[in-house]
């Protein structure tokens, strides 16, 4: 090629030298080159200018005398040939002829055409994969003249192939020339660049060759592989569940993930382009094969997973089930609760189809049956039937009844009295079922009695059951505890309490006894003196004292509840029977005292009627009256040899009919009681009809009528001591006894 160019240069120089030497006039061509390269489509101007000539005339032609395609424009001393656009027809040697007067000058310039307007293009036969041969094509489009073209392909800095296209073009045309290299990329190639460099070796004078370069990053691919699926929570699911499936796939570039579902016809239905596929509220129809595909430009890799979504069976729960122990009278609510059914329908019945005896209420997915108050009619097996769609479920609950509402009641037949039998009853009210009841009675730790009611025919009713026992309490029982324990031990029924108990602390009474009255100073008193009567009584609890006075009809008139009954100054009317009663819960004990208030006898008058001197045969009445003492306390006596003889007197009067001499003598009237005595004496003188013998002894004429008790008593003692010829002392009391 350079050889050819030299030839062209040679011709041009010769022409130029001819004209320059022969003429003084000078012609210049612009561009001032023997040859220019013009690219197809460009605009080229050739300017010819003459110097040293006033009015030159220009003419343009090609050396081959082919037609000029361009337009000529002359302006004074210049002429311009414009070829716009330049095409293959314009490739010529152009001659500009200048005529100036007689002189004729010529200037030549060669225009050569080329086409090299586009950068090379790099194509890969397939996306490059590590280890897989790939053909890289570098093509240079619309190039001319391609025999001057050189294409070089480099990988990074390393040349892979260089090619030129030396066969000359057969016709003037733009062609696309390309270079192919086949190679197998390696891992090291990742990130390197493919460079395609096209060089068109055309030179006008010293300009460099034209170079176009295209660089393409070598993207090395790895086909998707190791595609894996992780399923959370499981591939076996229930209707309504959610599942998340994450898919990963290795490759370069990172594979795009596609999730699809395999349809019945085998086609895939795209679901998501995300790595994680989340399916919520799944239904049975969502069962099937899910496909994850990882793909990138060089391939795809699939993985399948089979999901099984089980149809969810609706459930029925009955509560509180499966059985309930209900206390008679309480309120019981049975609840039938449905899950996983959109519109269930409910119905309630008893197993034996008896009336429900309750209120049914629907609350969303629940139905309640309220038995309030629960009674014996409700002791059934209740069934709740639920229909959901085509399916039907039934759940049952047994309602069992019991009644054990209160603690046992302990009752005593009466107060506890030491030694007296008493009946304790322990009563358990409103119990059911009473045939399961057991009652035990304890005294302290030891059992006294127990009773079961098994033999009782159990009827559906609340019954009151009781245990009774009789025992004899003693004082030692006081403080002990009586326990009544009732048990309803139905193990198969859940209720509380299953036992109840009551306790009672024993307090044993002792009836009043040893009731005693202490009279101070004495129960027989002189009027006006004071007396204290104190009553005491033993018993448990300590008896209460009640003093009463016995009335003449025998009734008691209460006086005082004080132990001591005091009289500061007694009167006769205070005499009588006083009753003291010791009273407590266990009984009454009574004691009585006879209070005697007396006055000492006084104002005794002893008289003889008609006179104390009578004759034999006369009737004489000796009479004794005392101012304050009843006649019964008046004793008439007559002195005899051996002492005094008590006379039979009536109302204090003694009558002597036909008095004898022996009736003469000393008569004495005595009135005495516990508080004193008085004596009166008189001497009856009876004169005989035949004799007048006076046998009255003056010694006995002494009259005693002392008002003072003690003086009288002393007097009497002196008197009796002397006159009765008695030895030593004399007891007034004994004397009275012998004579009363």
Ligand X SMILES: *[C@@H]1O[C@H](CO)[C@@H](O)[C@H](O)[C@H]1NC(C)=O
The residues of the shown chain that bind ligand X, judged by CB under 6 A, are 272-274, 520-521, 530-532, 560, 562, 566
Cβ–Cβ under 8 Å, residues 666 and 637 = no
By three-state DSSP, how is residue 413 classified? coil
Q: What is the dihedral of CA 719, 720, 724, 727, to 10 degrees?
A: -110
- Could you tell me the smallest distance in angstroms from the CB atom of residue 253 to ligand X? 18
- Could you tell me the smallest distance in angstroms from the CB atom of residue 477 to ligand X? 35
E-assigned strands of 364-494? Answer: 366-371, 381-388, 391-402, 409-412, 422-431, 438-443, 446-452, 463-471, 481-487
- Could you tell me the smallest distance in angstroms from the CB atom of residue 265 to ligand X? 24
In the bound state with ligand X, the residue whose beta carbon lies nearer, of 463 and 581, is: 581
- Could you tell me the smallest distance in angstroms from the CB atom of residue 531 to ligand X? 6
In the bound state with ligand X, the residue whose beta carbon lies nearer, of 43 and 566, is: 566
- Could you tell me the smallest distance in angstroms from the CB atom of residue 519 to ligand X? 9
Cβ neighbours for 491, distance < 8 A, ≥ 6 positions apart: none
- Could you tell me the smallest distance in angstroms from the CB atom of residue 404 to ligand X? 53
Q: What is the largest CA-CA distance in the chain?
A: 267
In the bound state with ligand X, the residue whose beta carbon lies nearer, of 214 and 272, is: 272
In the bound state with ligand X, the residue whose beta carbon lies nearer, of 530 and 619, is: 530
**Rounded-to-integer distance, Cα 275 and Cα 291, Å:** 12
In the bound state with ligand X, the residue whose beta carbon lies nearer, of 75 and 273, is: 273
Q: Compute CA distances 652 → 58, 222, 247, 635, whole Å.
A: 222, 168, 151, 7
For the chain, the C-alpha Rg in angstroms (whole number) is 82
> Which residue from 608, 631, 635, 611 is spatially nearest to 621, judged by alpha carbons?
608
Token pair 């033993």 in the structure block, residue = 538
Sign of CA dihedral 720, 725, 727, 728: positive
Q: Locate 466 and state its tokens.
A: 């009781």
**Rounded-to-integer distance, Cα 620 and Cα 654, Å:** 8
In the bound state with ligand X, the residue whose beta carbon lies nearer, of 163 and 534, is: 534
- Could you tell me the smallest distance in angstroms from the CB atom of residue 272 to ligand X? 5
Q: Locate 629 and state its tokens.
A: 């003492």
- Could you tell me the smallest distance in angstroms from the CB atom of residue 322 to ligand X? 48
In the bound state with ligand X, the residue whose beta carbon lies nearer, of 92 and 549, is: 549
In the bound state with ligand X, the residue whose beta carbon lies nearer, of 191 and 521, is: 521
- Could you tell me the smallest distance in angstroms from the CB atom of residue 529 to ligand X? 7
In the bound state with ligand X, the residue whose beta carbon lies nearer, of 531 and 682, is: 531
- The residues facing 81 across adjacent strands are 46, 72
Q: Locate 662 and state its tokens.
A: 């022996």
- Could you tell me the smallest distance in angstroms from the CB atom of residue 683 to ligand X? 44
In the bound state with ligand X, the residue whose beta carbon lies nearer, of 82 and 572, is: 572
- Could you tell me the smallest distance in angstroms from the CB atom of residue 373 to ligand X? 59
Cβ–Cβ under 8 Å, residues 383 and 404 = no
Number of H helices, E strands in the chain: 3, 54
In the bound state with ligand X, the residue whose beta carbon lies nearer, of 271 and 360, is: 271
**Rounded-to-integer distance, Cα 211 and Cα 196, Å:** 10
Q: Compute CA distances 158 → 186, 192, 305, whole Å.
A: 15, 11, 47
- Could you tell me the smallest distance in angstroms from the CB atom of residue 228 to ligand X? 19
**Rounded-to-integer distance, Cα 112 and Cα 210, Å:** 14
DSSP 49-91: EEES-SS-EEEEEETT-PPP-SEEEEETTEEEEEESS--GGG-
> Which residue from 116, 71, 60 is spatially nearest to 93, judged by alpha carbons?
60
In the bound state with ligand X, the residue whose beta carbon lies nearer, of 466 and 564, is: 564
- Could you tell me the smallest distance in angstroms from the CB atom of residue 547 to ligand X? 8
Cβ neighbours for 384, distance < 8 A, ≥ 6 positions apart: 316, 318, 334, 336, 346, 347, 348, 367, 369, 394, 395, 396, 397
In the bound state with ligand X, the residue whose beta carbon lies nearer, of 566 and 619, is: 566
Q: Compute CA distances 550 → 271, 536, 543, whole Å.
A: 120, 19, 21
- Could you tell me the smallest distance in angstroms from the CB atom of residue 274 to ligand X? 4
Token pair 């795809």 in the structure block, residue = 300
**Rounded-to-integer distance, Cα 301 and Cα 586, Å:** 109
> Which residue from 577, 571, 540 is spatially nearest to 555, judged by alpha carbons?
577
- Could you tell me the smallest distance in angstroms from the CB atom of residue 244 to ligand X? 12
By three-state DSSP, how is residue 472 classified? coil
In the bound state with ligand X, the residue whose beta carbon lies nearer, of 51 and 274, is: 274
Token pair 């040939």 in the structure block, residue = 81
- Could you tell me the smallest distance in angstroms from the CB atom of residue 198 to ligand X? 45
In the bound state with ligand X, the residue whose beta carbon lies nearer, of 231 and 659, is: 231
In the bound state with ligand X, the residue whose beta carbon lies nearer, of 520 and 731, is: 520
Q: Locate 596 and state its tokens.
A: 């005697």
Cβ–Cβ under 8 Å, residues 169 and 114 = no
> Which residue from 77, 73, 80 is spatially nearest to 44, judged by alpha carbons?
80
């Amino acid at each position: 090629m350079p050889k050819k160019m030299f030839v062209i240069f040679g011709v041009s120089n010769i022409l130029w030298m001819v004209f320059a030497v022969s003429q003084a006039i000078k012609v210049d061509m612009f561009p001032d080159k023997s040859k220019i390269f013009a690219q197809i489509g460009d605009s080229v101007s050739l300017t010819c200018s003459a110097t040293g000539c006033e009015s030159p005339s220009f003419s343009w032609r090609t050396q081959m005398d082919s037609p000029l395609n361009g337009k000529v424009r002359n302006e004074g001393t210049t002429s311009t040939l414009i070829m716009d656009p330049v095409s293959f027809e314009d490739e010529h040697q152009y001659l500009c002829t200048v005529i100036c007067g007689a002189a004729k000058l010529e200037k030549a310039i060669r225009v050569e055409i080329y086409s090299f307007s586009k950068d090379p293009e790099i194509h890969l036969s397939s996306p490059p994969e590590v280890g897989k041969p790939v053909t890289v094509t570098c093509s240079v489009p619309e190039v001319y003249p391609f025999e001057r073209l050189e294409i070089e392909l480099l990988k990074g800095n390393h040349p892979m192939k260089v090619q030129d296209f030396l066969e000359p073009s057969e016709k003037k045309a733009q062609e696309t020339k390309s270079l192919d290299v086949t190679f197998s990329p390696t891992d090291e190639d990742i990130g390197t660049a493919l460079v395609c460099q096209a060089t068109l070796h055309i030179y006008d004078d010293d300009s460099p060759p034209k170079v176009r370069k295209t660089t393409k990053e070598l993207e090395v691919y790895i086909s998707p592989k190791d595609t894996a699926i992780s399923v959370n929570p499981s591939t076996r699911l229930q209707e309504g569940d959610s599942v998340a499936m994450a898919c990963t796939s290795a490759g370069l570039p990172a594979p795009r993930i596609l999730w699809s579902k395999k349809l019945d016809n085998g086609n895939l239905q795209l679901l998501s382009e995300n790595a994680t596929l989340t399916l919520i509220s799944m239904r049975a129809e969502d069962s099937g094969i899910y496909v994850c595909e990882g793909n990138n430009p060089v391939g795809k890799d699939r993985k399948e997973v089979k999901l099984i979504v089980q149809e969810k069976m609706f459930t029925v729960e009955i509560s509180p089930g499966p059985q309930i122990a209900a206390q008679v009278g309480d309120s019981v609510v049975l609840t039938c609760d449905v899950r996983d059914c959109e519109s269930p329908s409910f119905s309630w019945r008893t197993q034996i189809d008896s009336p429900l005896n309750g209120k049914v209420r629907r609350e969303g997915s629940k139905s309640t049956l309220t038995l309030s108050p629960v009674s014996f009619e409700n002791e059934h097996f209740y069934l709740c039937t639920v229909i959901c769609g085509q399916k039907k479920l039934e759940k049952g609950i047994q309602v069992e009844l019991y009644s054990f509402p209160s603690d046992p009641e302990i009752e005593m037949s009466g107060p506890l009295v030491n030694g007296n039998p008493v009946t304790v009853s322990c009563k358990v009210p409103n119990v059911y079922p009473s045939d399961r009841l057991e009652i035990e009675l304890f005294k302290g730790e030891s059992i006294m009695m127990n009773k079961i009611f098994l033999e009782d025919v159990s009827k559906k009713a609340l019954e009151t059951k009781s245990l009774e026992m009789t025992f004899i309490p003693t004082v030692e029982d006081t403080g002990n505890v009586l326990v009544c324990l009732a048990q309803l031990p139905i193990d198969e029924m859940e209720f509380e309490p299953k036992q109840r108990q009551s306790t009672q602390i024993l307090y044993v009474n002792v009836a009043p006894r040893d009731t005693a009255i202490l009279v101070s100073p004495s129960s027989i008193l002189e009027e006006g003196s004071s007396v204290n009567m104190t009553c005491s009584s033993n018993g448990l609890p300590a008896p209460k004292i009640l003093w009463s006075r016995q009335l003449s009809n025998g009734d008691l008139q209460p006086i005082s509840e004080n132990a001591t009954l005091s009289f500061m100054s007694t009167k006769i009317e205070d005499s009588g029977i006083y009753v003291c009663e010791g009273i407590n819960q266990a009984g009454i004990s009574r004691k009585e005292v006879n209070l005697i208030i007396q006055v000492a006898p006084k104002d005794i008058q002893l008289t003889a009627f008609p006179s104390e001197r009578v004759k034999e045969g006369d009737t004489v009445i000796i009479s004794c009256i005392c101012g304050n003492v009843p006649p019964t306390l008046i004793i008439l006596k007559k002195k005899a040899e051996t002492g005094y003889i008590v006379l039979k007197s009536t109302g204090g009067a003694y009558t002597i009919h036909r008095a004898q001499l022996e009736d003469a003598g000393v008569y004495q009237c005595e009135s005495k009681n516990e508080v004193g005595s008085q004596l009166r004496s008189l001497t009856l003188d009876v004169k005989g009809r035949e004799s007048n013998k006076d046998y009255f002894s003056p010694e006995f004429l002494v009259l005693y009528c002392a008002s003072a008790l003690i003086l009288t008593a002393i007097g009497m003692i002196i008197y009796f001591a002397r006159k009765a010829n008695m030895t030593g002392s004399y007891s007034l009391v004994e004397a009275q006894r012998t004579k009363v």
